[in-house]
Chain A
């Protein structure tokens, strides 16, 4: 048995196209009819008012001669007959014929009756119901003179009733017309559209969805060239195209089935290969896991060792920090002093010393070889040597102290006992600078070995750099500096004097990828000369961090700034 597109479904009468067409047509015609009826009513109303006015004016013109004659003759009987004659018009409510002496010659009022009952629509005509005709009469040989007036009053309710009857008649006619047009449209619509559509629908319902190409289109007589015929042609073409699509689909499905079977075979082969490779990988994985386990253990041991090392460094930092002097060691001999000491690691090779003897204040800054723990050890040697030199010197002389330090370092590191080029145990040394301030005589002396300069920044921002002597202190492979020069400095009130190791200026910039250098540091200090000393040093450190950006520091940093007076 062949399945059809759908079972025959009966459409309820109220949902059918015919009923909808009838209802919509009736609604449209009624709405239009009401609108047109209102307009027609309005026009009828205006026309009727005009008709009443013109009719009454014609009537009055008709009786004007008789009325004038009756008034001129003061003929009551003639007037009465004329008044009665006007009452042939059912709308006339009252007529009065009044002479020019003010007397009523004749009058009549229609007795109340069914025709004069209130309709409620009388207001429509209340302004066209009163007519007044002044009357003149020309006797033979004389000019016309006023002889009176004829007044006629119409009944607005009679006019309204007449108008209402006409309106009702028009309304009934309109409804009948709407119904007739609706029925006519429905019949035409049924034979022109609905019936062919039903036949087409029935034919579509009988189509075999599995073989749409076998569908035989119905014959719609008289519709070969209109939209219905076009719809039928399109539908036939659609079903045939659908049949072609189904055929193509079946063909593709067969090819897909074959391809699927081929793929399944390939997948099975590949699966076997993969299973074998997987077994090999499992073995390799076990070996890798064992290696990772070993690596983890090693890492843990390294971490433990690093922790121990870090702990040792922290302790060493405490020791090295304890070896540094208190910043208040110079007391009131100087106006202001601040120190920036930041080893590259927890400990470093930079070291400084502050000591006051009477009115003399000594500031020593040294940059030992290397950094980290090796550097820290050298600072221990230096600290010990410095303590001895300063204690044994009766008079502090910066150049002499530096030369004495060179000797002490070489001796303590036994650099003076090993011939040159043979078995070097320690080829370490340092650069150092000393600033000696005699608060009593206000004399300032500077000496330096190894290139550590003194930077003077006056209160007005003027700056100058005083360089020290060439050479280095210590170092087994290098000779002692042949000569160390003391530089007397003329102290200017408000000026600040800076001693800094090369770690301050050897900052690698992130963007420019070059070392900062001393000039930018001095220019920054000039630009910020008006700030407090501590504020300047903190600002300088911020500037250095900004310059480095993400780049790591390269060396220990030490900066001592002092405002003497």
Chain B
């Protein structure tokens, strides 16, 4: 009886160098993020994910002892990549975005991470005009103008997608577009960066807008999503501190 035990022991010693790194490896997950400049929420246009979203998810990963790898992708590819298991998590996400594509898929969403306001921005001189005055509406490519879906489908409004905010702002400023639909906070930040002033276009609350929350979503790792929700509850002060530092307020 002694011999088998000794053999087993020797086998374990021999295999230990190969097995030990696996046992000690930190779980890795791929998070799909938008490859656009969406500051102050996040930015992935330079190939590196940064901003509030990065700081939040890195804090969670550090707390949970996992490793998150960020893969910047065009926003339209994010949902398809999630549904085909090319990424483990998608951030940011909202069940209302392209709800038609989500039907039939078991996508799990986290608790709201941060609220957002997507609204219609017009030239300051055009503030207060009725929605019917908007004929052409511009967005950044991949951005879903949820608040304008009904007029768009009815054909009363024509949608023009632009490659980035610079192009979008220039289209509105040159009045080739009647309005731009974007996240209000992002639009202000991009206006400041691109045009040197945050109020080159003004948010008109009387025009269609949408409020919502950015969430973390997954298909394959709902247990980790639960731990993320628990971490949000437990680290609310930390999360709020990150929001403040990024300049994100609940109003925008």
Known: A72-B77, A77-B161, A140-B47. 18 other contacts (CB 8 A): A73-B76, A73-B77, A73-B142, A74-B74, A74-B80, A74-B142, A75-B142, A78-B141, A99-B80, A101-B80, A101-B84, A103-B80, A139-B47, A139-B72, A140-B46, A141-B47, A141-B48, A142-B47
Give chain A residues whose Cβ lies under 8 Å from the Cβ of B161. Answer: 75, 77
CA distance A494 to B48 in the complex (A): 148
Closest 4 CB pairs of A and B: A141-B47, A74-B76, A140-B47, A73-B74
B183 at interface, CB cutoff 8 A: no
Report A-chain residues with C-beta under 8 Å of the C-beta of B142. 73-75
Contact pattern, A 97-111, Cβ under 8 Å of B = 1, otherwise 0: 001010100000000
Number of cross-chain contacts by CB at 8 Å: 33
Contacting residues, chain B, for A103 (C-beta < 8 A): 80
**Closest-CB distance, A148 to chain B (whole angstroms):** 11
For residue B35, CB closer than 8 A to chain A, the reply is yes
Chain A residues whose C-beta falls within 8 Å of the C-beta of B72 in the assembled complex: 139
Q: Known: A101-B84, A139-B35, A139-B72. Is A74-B47 also a contact (CB below 8 A)?
A: no
Chain B residue nearest in CB terms to A137: B74
Taken together as a complex, chains A and B put the C-alpha atoms of A538 and B76 apart, in Å, by 138
- Count B interface residues, CB 8 Å: 14
14 A/B residue pairs, CB under 8 Å, sorted by A = A72-B77, A73-B76, A74-B76, A74-B80, A74-B142, A75-B74, A75-B141, A77-B161, A99-B80, A101-B80, A101-B84, A140-B47, A141-B46, A142-B47
Task: List A contacts of B46 (CB < 8 A).
Answer: 140-141
Cα separation A72 to B76 with both chains bound (whole Å):
9
Q: Contact partner of A73 among B47, B48, B84, B141, CB < 8 A?
A: B141
Taking the closest CB of chain A, its distance from the CB of B30, in whole angstroms, is 13
Interfacial chain A residues near B74, Cβ < 8 Å = 72-75
Question: Contact mask B52-95 → A, CB, 8 Å, 1/0?
Answer: 00000000000000000000111011001000100000000000
CA distance A350 to B232 in the complex (A): 174
| Residues of B bordering A, CB below 8 Å | 35, 46-48, 72-74, 76-77, 80, 84, 141-142, 161
Least CB distance from B215 to A in Å reads 21
Min CB–CB distance A273 → chain B (angstroms): 144
CA distance A142 to B73 in the complex (A): 11
What's the minimum C-beta distance from A134 to chain B, rounded to whole angstroms? 17
Please give me the residue from chain A that is nearest to B159 by CB atom. A77
| Contact partners of A78 in chain B: CB under 8 A | 141
Q: Which chain B positions have C-beta within 8 A of A142?
A: 47
Assembled-state Cα–Cα distance A72/B74 (Å) = 7
Least CB distance, B100 to chain A, in whole angstroms: 13
**What is the size, in residues, of chain A's interface with B at 8 Å between Cβ atoms?**
13
| CB–CB A74/B35 < 8 A | no
| A residues 69-103 touching B (CB-CB < 8 Å) | 72-75, 77-78, 99, 101, 103
Q: Smallest Cβ distance from B50 to chain A, in angstroms?
A: 13
Instruction: Give A141 to B44 CA distance when docked, in angstroms.
Output: 11
Are A75 and B47 neighbours in the complex by a CB distance under 8 Å?
no
- Most chain A CB neighbours (cut-off 10 Å) among B48, B80, B142: B80
Which chain B residues border A75 with CB–CB below 8 Å? 74, 76, 141-142, 161
Nearest-neighbor residue (CB-CB) of A77 within chain B = B161
| CB closest residue in chain A, given B101 | A103
Distance between A263 CB and nearest chain B CB, rounded to angstroms: 132
Determine the chain B residues whose CB is within 8 A of the CB of A141 once the complex forms.
46-48
Contacts of B84 in A (CB 8 A): 101
Q: Which of A135-163 contact B (CB under 8 A)?
A: 139-142
With a cutoff of 8 Å between Cβ atoms, the chain B residues found around residue A77 in the complex are 161
- Docked Cα-Cα span, A74 to B74, in Å, equals 8
Which of A74, A103, A140, A141 has the largest count of B CB atoms less than 10 A from its CB? A74
Chain A: which residue is nearest B72 at the CB level? Answer: A139
In the complex, per-residue mask of A109-141: 1 if CB is within 8 Å of any chain B CB, else 0: 000000000000000000000000000000111
Residues of B within 8 A of A73 (CB): 74, 76-77, 141-142
Q: Which residues of B contact A72 (CB under 8 A)?
A: 74, 77
Q: How far is the CA of A101 from the CA of B85 in the complex (A)?
A: 11
In the complex, A78 Cα to B46 Cα: how many Å?
Answer: 22
Q: Which of A489-533 contact B (CB under 8 A)?
A: none
Give Cα distance in the complex from A142 to B84, angstroms: 20
Question: Given the complex of chains A and B, what is the CA–CA distance between A78 and B142 in angstroms?
Answer: 12
**A335, chain B: closest CB distance, angstroms:** 130
B76: chain A residues at CB < 8 Å are: 73-75
Give A139 to B46 CA distance when docked, in angstroms: 9
Q: Which residue of A lies closest to B77 (CB)?
A: A74
CB distance from A78 to the nearest CB of B (A): 8
Specify the chain B residue showing the minimal Cβ separation from A140: B47
CB distance from A81 to the nearest CB of B (A): 11
CA–CA, A73 and B76, complex, Å: 7
What is the minimal beta-carbon distance from B145 to any residue of chain A, in angstroms? 14
Nearest A residue (CB) for B83: A101
The residue on B at minimum CB distance from A99 is B80
Q: How far is the CA of A75 from the CA of B140 in the complex (A)?
A: 11
Q: For residue B181, give the distance in angstroms from its CB to the closest CB of chain A.
A: 16
A72 to B73, CA, bound (A): 8
Smallest Cβ-Cβ distance to A147: which chain B residue: B77
Q: How far is the CA of A385 from the CA of B76 in the complex (A)?
A: 169
Minimum CB–CB distance from A67 to chain B (whole Å) comes to 15
A99: chain B residues at CB < 8 Å are: 80
Return the chain A residue nearest B80 by Cβ: A101
Nearest chain A CB to B34 CB, angstrom units:
12
Closest to B73 in A: A139
B residues less than 8 Å from A139 (CB atoms)? 35, 47, 72-73
Kindly list chain A residues whose C-beta atoms are within 8 Å of the C-beta of B77: 72-74
* Cα separation A77 to B74 with both chains bound (whole Å): 15
Q: How many angstroms from the CA of A543 to the CA of B187 in the assembled complex?
A: 153
Bound together, the chains give a CA A99 to CA B74 distance in angstroms of 13
Separation in Å of the B150 CB from the closest CB of chain A?
20
For B71, the closest partner residue in chain A by CB is A142
**A73, A77, A103, A142 pick with most chain B CB within 10 angstroms:** A73
A75 to chain B, nearest CB (A): 6
* Chain A: CB-nearest residue to B163: A73
Residue in chain A with minimal CB distance to B84: A101
Give min CB distance, A348 to chain B, whole Å.
Answer: 146
Kindly state the separation between the CA atoms of A517 and B145 in the bound complex, as whole angstroms.
157
